[in-house]
């Protein structure tokens, strides 16, 4: 099968959940002997010097980078606000030159499946239809407007809430209008699949969650920092910012007073200066962008996921569980991951629950050990990358046979 993946960020090295989700499928397709081409925007925000890609990576797929500046322009945003109904956060990825690159590729090569990695690539469906007879599949990493719905609900009345509402409405309209222009949609969670169905999707759908390569996991060290909490996630993403600030204000203040030896490690890229200032306080270690997420997780004890908005799946939770980390998450954070409270994860949805559960885990070695073991078993059963990729390819074959 000849597969073209089109992404709005270069997926290697896979530094965040989105790039990991893209790259792991690329790797899975290759390991299952499919012919894979990856066309990816090499954005100013996630720029990667692609001239010296590893040789083994070149054997995985044909990678075609496209350098593009997607930085926010306040002038363009203002013009967009006044004269457009399209969401500016997606319009930044709309490029005539990128359309030309797609056209050139499709004129030279035939594909069976063209997989779009995210809603911002919906702009390119018309050019694909014009130059290819391939099946166009939207891999929905999230239900995008649901993320902004949660963001709107977090804001207090004011200017920020006003503009967030406008983005939310435009995103919702755009996403709903796009639903049936693809040949299939591949949600990343069962919840998202059900939501797309209820929103009026008439095209075939197949749930393909984030898959883990379980052959390459780092073993935890014997000298773990204990007691310690850690948070890991992109710190330029609004839901992560809101969740971390809430945790610092509502949970950490109590914990650090009652546990003077407890340390909190925060890792994440692109943290704005105001957030770094908020993080930098006694008993907190700010690591910034971590070079090796697995080593960062393994060095610490309890992972906290104070997330209150968003859809899709939290890749860091899956990776943490695969490493045997004990995780405390909100219900929103665990969405799309059918884990079980008290068996392989801990749920907490308010400050008192977070505080009491963290104190309990610090004191109970047997509980931490049991949850750690069960978490690893759960991931091996439900999130093996090759098994997920194989199932997706079976779905693609049925799509091509129709």
223 assigned to some structural domain: no
Structural Rg of the chain based on CA atoms: 21
Mean predicted confidence (pLDDT) in 51-61: 87
How many independent structural domains does the chain possess?
Answer: 2
> Are the beta carbons of 48 and 10 closer than 8 angstroms?
yes
CA–CA separation, 32 and 11 (whole Å): 19
218 assigned to some structural domain: no
CA–CA separation, 166 and 373 (whole Å): 45
Residues 337 and 393 in one domain: no
pTM for the structure as a whole: 0.85
What percent of the residues of the chain are helix, what percent strand, and what percent coil, each to the nearest 5? Answer: 50, 15, 35
Residues 232 and 203 in one domain: no
Q: How many residues does the chain have?
A: 402
**CA-to-CA separations, 166 to 126, 157, 371, 391, in angstroms, rounded:** 26, 14, 42, 38
**Beta carbons within 10 angstroms of residue 109's beta carbon:** 13
> Are the beta carbons of 85 and 78 closer than 8 angstroms?
no
CATH number at residue 132: 3.40.50.2000
Q: Evaluate if residue 224 carries a pLDDT over 80.
A: no
274 assigned to some structural domain: yes
Which is more confidently placed, 345 or 227? 345
216 assigned to some structural domain: no
221 assigned to some structural domain: no
pLDDT in tens, 248-294: 999 999 998 888 889 999 999 999 999 999 999 989 999 999 988 88
Residues 181 and 35 in one domain: yes
pLDDT at position 186 is 98
Residues 349 and 373 in one domain: yes
Residues 95 and 205 in one domain: yes
222 assigned to some structural domain: no
346 assigned to some structural domain: yes
Mean predicted confidence (pLDDT) in 142-154: 86
Domain span at 350: 228-382
Of 145, 207, 150, 119, give the one whose Cα is nearest residue 331: 150
Q: Evaluate if residue 354 carries a pLDDT over 70.
A: yes
pLDDT in tens, 301-311: 999 999 987 66
pLDDT at position 200 is 94
Residues 151 and 264 in one domain: no
Residues 17 and 130 in one domain: yes
Of 261, 233, 266, give the one whose Cα is nearest residue 248: 266
pLDDT at position 316 is 92
Residues 202 and 273 in one domain: no
Residues 324 and 195 in one domain: no
Residues 188 and 135 in one domain: yes
Q: Is 299 helix (H, G, I), strand (E, B) or coil?
A: coil
315 assigned to some structural domain: yes
Rounded percentage of the chain residues whose pLDDT exceeds 70: 98
Residues 332 and 394 in one domain: no
Q: Evaluate if residue 312 carries a pLDDT over 80.
A: no
Tokens read off for 376: 């690893």
Residues 194 and 94 in one domain: yes
């Amino acid at each position: 099968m000849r597969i073209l993946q089109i992404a709005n960020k270069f997926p290697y090295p896979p530094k965040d959940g989105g790039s990991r989700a893209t790259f792991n499928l690329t790797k899975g397709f290759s390991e299952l002997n499919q012919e894979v081409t990856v066309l990816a925007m090499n954005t100013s925000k996630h720029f990667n010097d692609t001239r010296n890609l590893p040789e083994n990576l070149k054997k995985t797929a044909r990678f075609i980078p496209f350098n593009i500046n997607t930085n926010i322009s306040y002038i363009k945003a203002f013009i967009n606000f006044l004269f457009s109904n399209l969401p500016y956060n997606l319009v930044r990825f709309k490029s005539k030159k990128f359309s030309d690159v797609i056209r050139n590729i499709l004129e030279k090569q035939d594909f069976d499946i063209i997989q779009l990695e995210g809603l911002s690539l919906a702009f390119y469906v018309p050019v694909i239809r014009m130059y290819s007879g391939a099946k166009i599949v939207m891999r929905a990493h999230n239900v995008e407007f649901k993320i902004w719905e949660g963001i709107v609900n977090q804001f207090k009345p004011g200017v920020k809430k006003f503009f967030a509402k406008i983005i939310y409405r435009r995103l919702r309209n755009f996403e709903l209008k796009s639903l049936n222009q693809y040949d299939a949609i591949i949600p990343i969670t069962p919840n998202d699949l059900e939501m797309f169905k209820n929103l009026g999707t008439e095209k075939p759908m197949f749930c393909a969650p984030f898959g883990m390569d379980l052959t390459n996991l780092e073993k935890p060290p014997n000298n773990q920092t204990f007691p310690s909490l850690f948070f890991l996630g992109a710190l330029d993403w609004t839901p992560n910012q809101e969740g971390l600030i809430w945790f610092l204000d509502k949970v950490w203040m109590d914990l650090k007073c009652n546990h003077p030896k407890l340390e909190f490690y925060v890792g994440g890229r692109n943290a704005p200066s105001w957030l770094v200032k908020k993080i930098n306080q006694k008993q907190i270690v700010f690591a910034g962008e971590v070079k090796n997420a697995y080593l960062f997780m393994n060095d610490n004890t309890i992972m906290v996921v104070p997330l209150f908005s968003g859809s899709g799946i939290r890749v860091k939770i899956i990776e943490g569980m695969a490493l045997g980390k004990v995780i405390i998450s909100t219900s929103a954070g665990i969405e799309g991951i059918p884990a079980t409270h008290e068996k392989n994860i801990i749920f907490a949805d308010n400050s008192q629950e977070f505080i009491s559960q963290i104190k309990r885990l610090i004191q109970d070695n047997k509980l931490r050990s049991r949850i750690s073991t069960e978490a690893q078993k759960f991931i091996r059963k439900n999130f093996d990358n090759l098994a997920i990729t194989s199932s997706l390819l079976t779905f693609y074959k049925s799509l091509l046979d129709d």
